[in-house]
Every structure is written in C-alpha cells, then in structure tokens.
Amino acid sequence: MLSPNHTKLFKLLKSDPWVQAPEIPEVRDVIKNIPVTNLRRGNPKPPQQLRHLEQLYRDRIAPHCDLSAFEHCYIVAGVTDAITQFVATHRECWQITRGDYEYALTIGNRGLIHDEPHNRFSLIMSNPYCGTGNIIGFPDIDKPIYCDMAYAGSTPELNIELPDNCEQAWFSFSKSHGLVGERIGLVFTKQPHPSLSLSQAVGMWNYTSVDIAIACLEKFSYCEIPQKYQIVQHQICSELGFTPSDCFFIATTQDPEFDCRKRAPDLPARINLSHCWRYI
Ligand SMILES: Cc1ncc(COP(=O)(O)O)c(C=O)c1O
C-alpha cells in the first residue's frame, strides 16, 4: 500500500511534466568508490578506457540491438549533449513529431514539428518512445532517422531493429542506471560525427564518466535493472490504476484526471512513476 494517500500523490504526479528513473541503490554501491580521474590530455589511458567502454557497450547491447553498421562511437554528456551537437551541426531542416522529446526544438531554428513524419525532412525520434515510455515501430520515410534511445536499458526486454536509414543512435546512462547527474551518453554513427570527431581527437571528454560507465556495464547485464524493478512498477500501477509502460519508471493512463500529462492529443497521459518509489 502506497503512502501518502492517493489524493496527495496524484497531485504530485499531475504536476510533473518530466520523467526520471529513481536512484538505483545497486548502482550507487558500484560507483561510490570510483576515484576522480585527473589525467592530463595526451595521456594514453583515457582513449584506451574509451575504446574499452565502446567495446563493452557493443557487447552488452548486441543481443538486443544491432549496432554493427554504426562504425563510430563517441562519449557525450547524455543524450541532451548528442541533440545539441546534432542541432549545432545539421545544415538542413529536420523534424520531430508532436509528443516526442522537444529539447531539440528549443535550441535550434531549423526544427519543424509535425503530427506525422514528413518524407522531406530528417527525423529525430525517440525509441523507446518518450510520449508513452513504450517501444514503437519506425516510420517508413526516405530521409535519415536520428534515434534518441535515451530509454534503452530501461525496459526489461529490448528488441529494436534500427532501420537502414538510421544514421545515428544516441544512448544514455541517465535512465537505465538512474545516473542523470553524472551526464553519460554514447553516440553511435555511420559517418564520422561533424563535431564530436574533432573534440574527441583532442581528448575532450569527462574521463571519470567513462570509468563510471565501465563499472556499471561490468556489473549489470543490459536489461537486468529494469527486469528487477518492473515488479515494483507493476505493484504501483495496479494500486493506482495505471498501465505500466515498457520503461520501468513510466506508466500511462486514459483517466481524464491526468489529461494535463498528455504529450499530444492522441496519446494517453504519461506518468513519472519515480515519485512513487520512495513511498513503497
Ligand atoms: C526522450 C528523452 N531523450 C533524452 C533525454 C535526456 O537524456 P540525458 O539525461 O541522457 O541527457 C530525456 C530526458 O528526460 C528524454 O526524455
């Protein structure tokens, strides 16, 4: 039984437009003794560690998502950073669809928002999908797709086949490992990245974040954390009358009381369950 009472909790859930994974105690235990890496640029260790991280990530995700066509890999400060780099370097208009993650639109002036993907523009889309927290299909468009996979690793099963026109796939440790404050993400690309290939050639990344990511991947298999926490998600949802999403910290509901949390008129309301975790 959740406390506080439902009225108070519903008020909190209705007021929060964002989603966030709860802190994962097992992850906190893994990373608490990692020292800050303060090596000088030019030291060979950070690039070696970065290549080690890349290989580990590729190995871990391989049973769930084939990244073999994505030859290049870069570390970023979360998917937010991947989006910033995309918006800063993409020379043509691009689009997102209504209900998807809107950050890109807020920082650039080449972004368009459409109800359905338009065949004339590159598409930034999240999958697992930000509008519901569920894994979705890819639209059939000719232009490139840039896939925001910030919620990958947060679903008990991940079986995503990236379409041939997917040019980049962006991953994060914020949701999958509850590490939003560490700012860790990986960008996989088919072509060398216009900005990240330059900054990474001169050692411009956070070396400690690479060590943290490695420690997490060495400890947990890809979907292990959401598999464990899905049980709690289902308990919360059955008590509150929500539908559990594929992502373990998200639910949806058609209850009109939560209409303020719909990300588009044709979507159910999306609920950030992480508030409920601490009341269990
Ligand atoms: C769909 C989506 N993409 C990206 C992000 C940002 O992720 P990160 O913390 O890796 O920058 C969020 C954060 O809520 C998100 O919902």
- Do 49 and 109 share a structural domain? yes
**147 part of a folded domain:** yes
**Domain final position from 219, 241, 258:** 219
CATH number at residue 203: 3.40.640.10
Note the pLDDT tens digit of each residue in 93-102. Answer: 999 999 999 9
- Decide if 88 is inside a domain: yes
Question: How much distance in Å is there from the Cα of 121 to the middle of ligand 1?
Answer: 22
* 242 is a domain residue: yes
Q: Tell me: pLDDT of 222 over 80.
A: yes
Same-domain pairing of 189 and 240:
no
Check residues 278 and 248 and name the one with the higher pLDDT: 248
Among 219, 252, 269, the domain-final residue is 219
Averaged pLDDT for residues 196-225? 96
- Out of 219, 238, 262, a domain closes at 219
What angle (nearest 5°) sits at the alpha carbon of residue 223, between those of residues 220 and 226? Answer: 100
Q: Is residue 3 over pLDDT 70?
A: no
Residues 158, 222 contacting (CB under 8 angstroms): yes
Whether residues 181 and 90 fall in one domain:
yes
* 227 part of a folded domain: yes
pLDDT more than 90, % of the chain: 93
| Closest residue CA from atom 10 of ligand 1 | 78
Same domain (yes/no): 99, 72: yes
* pLDDT of the residue at 278: 74
- Counting ligand 1 atoms within 8 A of each CB, the residue from 98, 155, 174 with the most, and so the one to mutate, is 174
Lining residues, ligand 1, CB within 6 Å? 18-19, 78-80, 101, 126, 130, 148, 150, 172, 174, 180, 185
Tell me: do 136 and 71 sit in the same domain. yes
pLDDT of residue 268: 98
Atom of ligand 1 lying closest to residue 19 CA: 14
Is 1 domain-assigned?
A: no
Same domain, 210 and 262: no
Q: Are residues 142 and 74 in the same domain?
A: yes
**Is residue 168 pLDDT above 70, yes or no?**
yes
Residue at 278: amino acid letter = R
> Does one domain contain both 210 and 250?
no
Ligand 1 centre and the CA of 20: distance in Å?
9
The pLDDT of residue 38: 87
pTM above 0.85, yes or no: yes
- β-pairing, 166-172 vs 185-189, is antiparallel
Residues 144 and 241 grouped into a single domain: no
Q: What's the pLDDT score for residue 72?
A: 98
Q: What is the mean pLDDT of the chain?
A: 95
Assess whether 176 and 118 both reside in one domain: yes
Under 8 Å CB-to-CB from 262, ≥6 apart: which residues? 268, 269, 270
Q: What's the pLDDT score for residue 1? A: 58
What pLDDT does 137 receive? 98
CA of 129 to the centre of ligand 1 (A): 11
Domain count, the chain: 2
21, 39: one domain: no
Give the pLDDT band (50/70/90) at residue 4: low
Query: pLDDT of 63-105, one tens digit each?
Result: 999 999 999 999 999 999 999 999 999 999 999 999 999 999 9
pLDDT of residue 5: 76
Tell how far the Cα of 139 is from the centroid of ligand 1, in angstroms: 21
Q: Is residue 121 part of a domain?
A: yes
Ligand 1 centre from 51 Cα, in Å?
Answer: 24
The ligand 1 atom at the shortest distance from the C-alpha of residue 20 is: 14
| Minimum CA distance residue for ligand 1 atom 7 | 79
In this structure, is residue 182 part of a structural domain?
A: yes
On whether the CB atoms of residues 107 and 84 are closer than 8 A, the answer is: yes
Identify the domain containing residue 252 by its residue range: 6-26+223-279
**209 and 232 both lie in a single domain:** no
Per-residue model confidence as pLDDT tens digits over 123-147:
999 999 999 999 999 999 999 999 9
Is position 92 within any domain?
yes
